[in-house]
Amino acid sequence: MGILKQNLAKKIPDWRYNYRQLLDEKGDHVTSTVTIEKAFSGMRGVKGIICDTSSVTADAGLHVRGHHILDLIHIKPEEVLYLMLIDELPDKKSLKALQQDLQARSEVPDYVWDVLNSMPKDSHPMAMFNTAILCMQKESKFAKAYELVVSKSDYWESTLDDGLNIIAKLPAIAAAVYRLRFNKGERIESNNDLDWSGNFLHMMGFDQSKDMLKMMQLYLMLHCDHEGGNVSTFSSLTVNSALSDPYYSLSAGLNGLAGPLHGLANQNNLKFVLEVVEHFKGVPSDKELKEFVWDRLNSGRVIPGYGHAVLRCPDPRFTAFMGFGNKHIKDCDVFSVVTKLFNIVPDILKQHGKAKNPWPNVDAASGSLLYHYGLKEFEFYTVLFSMSRSLGIVSQMVLSRAMGLPLTRPKSLTFDALNKL
C-alpha cells in the first residue's frame, strides 16, 4: 500500500466522524444568503461547497491546509500534494516513499503517443494535454471498482489510485506535448533518479541548471490549488460527483483552465508583455506604458494577469514569483516590463473603475520567469499550470469521495420564476 493510502486510511475515520457530527449539530446553520444579483453574478460569494485542501481570503490569498502560501515556497510539488491530502507536511522518509510511488506509476501507455501524434499539428497544447489524460480513461481503477460494486466507503481508494496514476504520468505527457507541438525532436526517456519537476525538465530537453529547477519546483507548487470554487476545480468536482472517474473529471476541469479568464491568462499576459517589448523595442517609459495600457482598455480588452473574483490584494503567488525574479533575474526586458506593469496597472484599473480588484494575480509574473529561462513558447504555459493544479484537483476528489459527498446539483430558476419571486 502506498504511503498516501496508508496515512489517509488512518485519518479518514476521524474526519468522517467530525463531518457527521457537524452535520448533526449544526446542519441547519446558514452559510450565506443567495440573492437574484448573486444568481446573475456567477454565484460570487455564495458559500455552498466544501473544500479542505485550501482556502483563499480576499486580503491575504491562498492558504494550503492553513499554511500561508508564502510560507511554503521552499517545498516541492510532491510535498504540497502530501500536505493537501494528509494535512501534514511529509518527513524525509514519507516524501521519498511518495516519490518512489509516483515513479513506479509513471509509464505512459504507448497508445497515448499515437493519439498525440495523430492530432493536428497546430492543436493547442492544452487540447493535446487534456486529450492525453482523457484517452487513458480505460485504465481507470475507479471505473472498474464501481463495476464490481465496491462499497461506497472505499471509493476514495480507487480515486486515489487513479489520481496518482495520472499525476505520475503528467511530466512525461506534458514534455511530449511540448516536444511534439514545438518541433523539438524525439521524446526523451524519463530519468527516475530525478524528482517530479526535475524529470519533467529533463524530458522537456532543458538543462538542469539549479535556478531553473528551483523555478520549476516553485511554479509547479504555487499553482497547486485555490480552494473549491474556481472554474477548473469546481468543474472537475462537479463531474466527479456523478461518479465519473478521475480521468473524465480532471480533463473536464482542465478544459476550464484553458479559458482566457482563468489559466490561459498566463499565456495572454506574456503575449501582452512581449507586445510591449516589441512595440517599444525594449522597456518603455512609464508614460509610454500608461498610454499603451489605456489603449488596450479603451479597445475593450482586459489586462491579462490583473483582477480576481475573490482576491482584493496582490496575489501572494505573484509576490512569490516576483521575489524569485528579483533575486535571480538581472537585465531582462521582459521581467522589467512585468515589474513596471505592477507599478502602473493597479492605479490605471482603479481610474478605469470597473475591476473590483486592481491587483495582479498569479498569471501576471509567471510567464516572464519561464521566458527568461528559455521556455518561450507561451502557448504551453497553461499546461504547466494544469500539471500543478491537477495536484489540488486530485486531492479534492479523493477527499470528496472519502467524505461521501453527494452529486452536485444546485437548483436553477427561469427568468420568469425570478420575476415571480
Least CB distance to ligand HAX at residue 345 (A): 8
Rg value, the chain, Cα: 22
| Amino acid, single-letter form, for residue 223 | H
| Among the listed residues 260, 243, 215, the one whose alpha carbon sits nearest the alpha carbon of residue 388 | 215
Q: 68-87 mask for ligand HAX (x: CB under 6 A)?
A: --------------------
Of 112-120, 126-134, 164-172, 304-312: span binding ligand HAX (CB under 6 A):
304-312
Q: Please say whether the dihedral angle defined by the alpha carbons of residues 208, 210, 212 and 218, taken in this order, is positive or negative.
A: positive
Least CB distance to ligand HAX at residue 103 (A): 29
Q: How many CA atoms lie within 13 A of 143 on its CB side?
A: 11
Contact set for ligand HAX, span 339-358 (CB under 6 A): 354-357
Pick from 46, 302, 332, 405 the residue near ligand HAX by CB under 6 A: 302
Cα–Cα distance for residue pair 120/170, rounded to 1 Å: 21
Active-site residue (options: 63, 202, 226, 308): 308
Pick from 61, 163, 304, 392 the residue near ligand HAX by CB under 6 A: 304
Q: Give me the residue label for grid cell 460570487.
A: 44
Residue 121 grid cell? 499539428
307 Cα distance to chain centroid: 17
Contact set for ligand HAX, span 363-392 (CB under 6 A): 363
Least CB distance to ligand HAX at residue 310 (A): 8
Asked whether position 305 contacts ligand HAX by CB under 6 A, the answer is: yes
Q: In what order do the strands lie in the sheet with 54-57?
A: 54-57, 61-64, 67-68
Size of the site for ligand HAX (CB under 6 A): 21
Of 24-32, 78-86, 132-140, 359-367: span binding ligand HAX (CB under 6 A):
359-367
Asked whether position 361 contacts ligand HAX by CB under 6 A, the answer is: yes
Cα–Cα distance for residue pair 361/321, rounded to 1 Å: 11
Asked whether position 62 contacts ligand HAX by CB under 6 A, the answer is: no
Contact set for ligand HAX, span 199-238 (CB under 6 A): 230
Q: Between the CA atoms of 17, 21, 22 and 25, what dihedral angle is there, to the nearest 10 degrees?
A: 180
Q: Are 12 and 87 in contact (CB under 8 A)?
A: no
112 Cα distance to chain centroid: 22
Buried b (16+ CB within 10 A) or exposed e, 376-395: eebbbbbbbbbbbbbbbbbb
Q: 20-49 mask for ligand HAX (x: CB under 6 A)?
A: ------------------------------
Asked whether position 261 contacts ligand HAX by CB under 6 A, the answer is: yes
To which H or E segment does residue 67 belong? strand 67-68
Q: Which is nearer to ligand HAX, 198 or 392 (CB)?
A: 392
Q: Which is nearer to ligand HAX, 246 or 305 (CB)?
A: 305
Pick from 85, 112, 276, 303 the residue near ligand HAX by CB under 6 A: 303
DSSP 169-217: HHHHHHHHHHHHHTT--S-----TTS-HHHHHHHHHT----HHHHHHHH
Least CB distance to ligand HAX at residue 29 (A): 27
Q: Based on the residue annotation, tell me whether 63 is a catalytic residue of this protein.
A: no
Q: Which is nearer to ligand HAX, 127 or 309 (CB)?
A: 309
Active-site residue (options: 262, 315, 333, 372): 262
Q: Based on the residue annotation, tell me whether 262 is a catalytic residue of this protein.
A: yes
Close Cβ partners of 61 (under 8 Å, ≥ 6 residues apart): 68, 69, 311, 313, 315, 316, 317
Kind of pairing between the strands at 67-68 and 54-57: unpaired
Q: Are 383 and 258 in contact (CB under 8 A)?
A: no
Asked whether position 308 contacts ligand HAX by CB under 6 A, the answer is: yes
Q: Which is nearer to ligand HAX, 344 or 405 (CB)?
A: 344
Question: What are the angstrom distances between the C-alpha of 38 and each of 45, 196, 274, 312, 408?
Answer: 8, 41, 37, 18, 18
Asked whether position 58 contacts ligand HAX by CB under 6 A, the answer is: no
Q: Based on the residue annotation, tell me whether 308 is a catalytic residue of this protein.
A: yes
Pick from 134, 135, 309, 405 the residue near ligand HAX by CB under 6 A: 309
Asked whether position 270 contacts ligand HAX by CB under 6 A, the answer is: no
What residues act catalytically?
A: 262, 308, 363
Binding positions for ligand HAX, rule: CB under 6 A: 230, 261-263, 265, 297, 302-309, 354-357, 361-363
